[in-house]
Structure 1
Amino acid sequence: MASFEVIGGKPLKGEIVPQGAKNEALQILCAVLLTDEQVTISNIPDIRDVNKLIELLRDMGVKVGKLSNDTYRFQADDVHLDYLDTPEFVAQAGALRGSVMILGPMLARFGKCQLPKPGGDKIGRRPMDTHFLGLEKLGGKLTLEGNDFYRINTEGRLRGAYMLLDEASVTGTANIVMGAVLAEGTTTIYNAACEPYLQQLCKILVRMGAKINGIGSNLLTIEGVERLGGTEHRMLPDMIEIGSFIGLAAMTGSEITIKDCQIPELGLIPDTFRKLGIQLEFRGDDIFVPAQDHYEIATYLDGSILTISDHTWPGLTPDLLSVLLVVATQAKGTVLIHQKMFESRLFFVDKLIDMGAQIILCDPHRATVIGLDKRTQLHGITMTSPDIRAGVALLIAALSANGRSVIENVEQIDRGYQNIDKRLTALGAQIRRL
């Protein structure tokens, strides 16, 4: 198990290019199963979860060709359906949360799929109901074996249907959309997720020949087609990594330029950091974060304490709340961080408290942060990364802290951040992989 040794308290400087979007990649890669023609995808991040999904597709029979460091060509013209019955498939799919998104494409094109309960971060309850209820409305027949293995089949082609989703699940919407594009008739999905990554999925499907209306809204209308063709696609930069770099610059008092950000796709992220007092400049499609000795949390107009909470798009993504919480520890002022979606995501704050942060964990969903205004630095400790987003938040804390920190279980960080130690070292950070 690898660790990072971090010597903190040093300002960084330079330019950094965000990786391709992890959450988009897990959807787009599964979409290649919908056609027997070639699909070329670029700006794919070189991270553990994405690489595992590519390996799973290859073992399922998808032809995979690496054209460059971030560009692959896929062709699913000879998918091995019998591989889904093997122990190797169960082990692979069970270790990867993103494997859930093969359900819709496999059911739409081949009429069947099976899947062990997928893995991923232990951040609270992450039910699969939206996926299966939506696919059942399209004609899928679900069988649950025990508590951890799903089989879903259909007799003939899937059929379009109207559905009102019980939650605007991004991966659930993605699975249903990928099932509906090859279904017979029209599918209407209300309360659909509309995150930029879901929009990207819809756009590549349209280029492949799908008929989808309402992209970018929570009401999608899909007219099924008989087959899809090949295409090319370039993924967005990762908005979570962009937000992480903004937070890193603020915490360490660094001057950093984040390149090629696709700023219109970032939603509330820049303004949320501005509410914490962080200065940002948009320079074309780059974000320049100047070095700041202090930043002050805004209050509401009546003077009451600011609350930052997550919400479905176009609200703030829950994946950045861990970073925002860490950034607030060195701000001037007080903020309530409200993590609505996952009840275990704030449990890493005990490490920050051990580093000297002033945080009150109100309950599993809420934490009050009293900023230190950089009058007192955090101090280095030994800690363990519990999940991807908490892991990078702890890395940011360690880089701002006085002295030496050790972060264990950095495989969690590697699942979502591409060569993060080397890229930050290029900015002047002192990080050593043990």
Structure 2
Amino acid sequence: MGTFIIEGGHQLHGEITPQGAKNEALQILCAVLLTSEEVTISNIPDIVDVNKLISLLEDLGVKTQKKAKGTYSFKADNLNLDYLQSAQFKEDGRGLRGSIMLVGPLLARFGKGYIPKPGGDKIGRRRLDTHFEGFIKLGATFRYNKEEHFYGVEAEKLTGTYMLLDEASVTGTANIVMAAVLAEGKTTIYNAACEPYLQQLCKMLNRMGAKINGIGSNLLEIEGVDSLGGTEHRMLPDMIEIGSWIGLAAMTRSHLTIKNVHWDDLGQIPTVFKKLGIQLERQGDDIVIPEHKDGYEIQNYIDGSILTIADAPWPGLTPDLLSIILVMATQAKGEVLIHQKMFESRLFFVDKLIDMGAKIILCDPHRATVIGHDFKSTLKATTMVSPDIRAGVSLLIAALSAKGTSTIHNIEQIDRGYENIDTRLRAIGAKITRLQ
């Protein structure tokens, strides 16, 4: 188990460039299975979850070649489909939430897709019903082995249809879209997710020869085609990392520049941070956060009532940033209610922040009220364990703002989503050491 030792209380300075988007990568990499031709993808983040998925693809028989840092070519022209039924696949697939994204393209191209119950963060229930209900509507037969927790879908052919998704699931929409592009006839998906990473997937598939209309809306129309070809694709910067660096700058009262953020794909993120009192300057495609010497003040609603920040499907705020926002609020001037609607275990890390001196009332598994210190007292250094990716980074930000030396164990969770985070933070002045 790895450990970070963090000496907090230091201002940071300089520039930091966000990695490629983790959540986009898990979709885009699986889409290479839809063609026998070469697909080249750039700006791939070098993180544990993405590297695990690339290893899974290699074990399945996908030829991969590293062209440069963050750039790989993939060719799925001779796959070993027997691997999907092997004990090794059942073991490897369990350790990665993104492995569910293999099912749609395998079903579309080969008529069968299997997956063990996937793992990932322990942040609450993350059901797979939307994925499999979509496959069934396209004509697949579903089966589930309860003893082995092993899912499977099979179909001689997929046929386009109309479907109204029960939730605007990003991964569910992506999986169904990848199945539908090779289905016979027209598929209409209503209540589809429409976040930028899903748009990226659809644009890539269209360059490969798919016929997808309505990209960016919640109504997708897909005309099935017989086959797809190769393409090149560059992934967006990771909006969760961008939000993390904004939170880090605010909590440490540092002057930071976040490079090449793709402003037009950030949605509500800049607006929400401004509601927390954070100054953000747009310089070209960069975000500049000035030093907040006098702190930052949370805006109330126009009637004076307490601000509520809640997650919602795109273009609402992504749930992955609520942990960061909660930590930032501990040093703001004012109060805020954080409402995590999607996952019932994601706020349980606040007990560590309370140990550090934060004023937080955990109302229930989904809601927490934060009363900010306004930097009149700092958080206290402590020893913590990272429970998941986003909570782990939030605790890291708290530790970097706290006076004294903090210890964070189980940093493998952070490494699952953030590329070389300690090296990159040291480059802007953070006092952080990695121990194995």
TM-score band, normalised by shorter chain: over 0.9
The residue correspondences of 1:21-420 to structure 2 (distance < 5 A) are: 21-146=21-146, 148-155=149-156, 157-293=157-293, 294-420=295-421
User: How far apart are 1:69 and its partner, in Å?
Assistant: 1.1
CA offsets 1:286-338 (integer angstroms, 9 cap, x no match): 00000002100000000000000000000000000000000000000000000
Q: Does 1:20 align with 2:20?
A: yes
| Structure 2 SS opposite 1:134 | helix
| Structure 1 SS opposite 2:251 | helix
Counterpart amino acid of 1:71? T
Q: What is the TM-score normalised by the length of structure 1?
A: 0.99
| Structure 1 SS opposite 2:433 | strand
User: How far apart are 1:86 and its partner, in Å?
Assistant: 1.1
Q: How far apart, in 2, do the equivalents of 1:365 and 1:410 lie?
A: 25
Q: How far apart, in 2, do the equivalents of 1:236 and 1:114 lie?
A: 29
| Structure 1 SS opposite 2:51 | helix
CA offsets 1:119-146 (integer angstroms, 9 cap, x no match): 0001001110000000100011001111
Q: How far apart, in 1, do the equivalents of 2:158 and 2:189 lie?
A: 15
| Structure 2 SS opposite 1:189 | strand
Q: How far apart, in 2, do the equivalents of 1:90 and 1:63 lie?
A: 21
Q: Structure 1 stretch 308-317 or stretch 80-89: which is displaced more?
A: 80-89
Q: How far apart, in 1, do the equivalents of 2:113 and 2:27 lie?
A: 16
Percent identity between the two aligned chains: 71
User: How far apart are 1:85 and its partner, in Å?
Assistant: 1.4
Match of 1:433 in 2: 434
CA offsets 1:376-416 (integer angstroms, 9 cap, x no match): 00010000000000000000000000101000000000000
Q: How far apart, in 1, do the equivalents of 2:266 and 2:100 lie?
A: 26
Q: How far apart, in 1, do the equivalents of 2:104 and 2:130 lie?
A: 12
Counterpart amino acid of 1:188? T
Counterpart amino acid of 1:297? I
Counterpart amino acid of 1:280? L
Counterpart amino acid of 1:113? G
| Structure 2 SS opposite 1:114 | strand
User: How far apart are 1:57 and its partner, in Å?
Assistant: 0.1
Counterpart amino acid of 2:306? I
- After TM superposition, which residue ranges in structure 1, 4 or more long, deviate above 4 angstroms? none
Counterpart amino acid of 1:397? A
User: How far apart are 1:44 and its partner, in Å?
Assistant: 0.1
Counterpart amino acid of 2:183? A
Counterpart amino acid of 1:167? E
Q: How far apart, in 1, do the equivalents of 2:84 and 2:302 lie?
A: 57
Q: How far apart, in 2, do the equivalents of 1:125 and 1:312 lie?
A: 17
User: How far apart are 1:116 and its partner, in Å?
Assistant: 0.5
| Structure 1 SS opposite 2:206 | helix
Q: How far apart, in 2, do the equivalents of 1:271 and 1:284 lie?
A: 18
Q: What is the aligned length?
A: 433
Q: How far apart, in 2, do the equivalents of 1:26 and 1:378 lie?
A: 36
User: How far apart are 1:256 and its partner, in Å?
Assistant: 0.3
Gaps of 5+ in 1: none
User: How far apart are 1:171 and its partner, in Å?
Assistant: 0.3
Q: Structure 1 stretch 141-150 or stretch 111-120: which is displaced more?
A: 141-150
Output the aligned Cα RMSD: 0.5
Gaps of 5+ in 2: none
Q: Structure 1 stretch 404-413 or stretch 82-91: which is displaced more?
A: 82-91
| Structure 2 SS opposite 1:391 | helix
| Structure 2 SS opposite 1:297 | coil
